[in-house]
Amino acid sequence: MKISIDRRSEDLTVVHLEGRLDIDGSRAVEDKFAFATTTHQTGVIVDLSGLSFLASIGIRMLMSAARGQHGRGGKVVLAAPQESVRKVLEVAGIDQLIPLYADLASAEAALMAA
């Protein structure tokens, strides 16, 4: 599992995830992910385009980030999931709790408009 963080401005951070967000993948990135998504108020886009698998522990990690940002007055959105990951998010109802966008550009536009 790989994570990269692109701090585009004070108001926008993009977190790119690549690999499988299962128990091993979550353990590999959870500290860095939590630090990037919850330590300061900002808009966060989680780029899921490189994510090939999403397990319940990965969903928990995404939900924790969204709750943490909400508590600080910021917002987390999800962007560009592969079809299998999108289906998991929809079946679990996560797309009803965390906004889900087809691509990074639309996610960024929505965050900047908010």
CATH number at residue 39: 3.30.750.24
**Whole domain around residue 32: which residue ranges?**
2-113
- Token representation of residue 105: 């550009």
Q: Taking the complete model, does pTM exceed 0.85, yes or no? A: yes
Distance CA 31, CA 71 (A): 18
What does the pLDDT look like over 32-90, one tens digit per residue?
999 999 888 889 999 999 999 999 999 999 999 999 999 889 999 999 999 999 999 99
Our count of domains for the chain comes to 1
Contact 111, 75 (CB under 8 A): yes
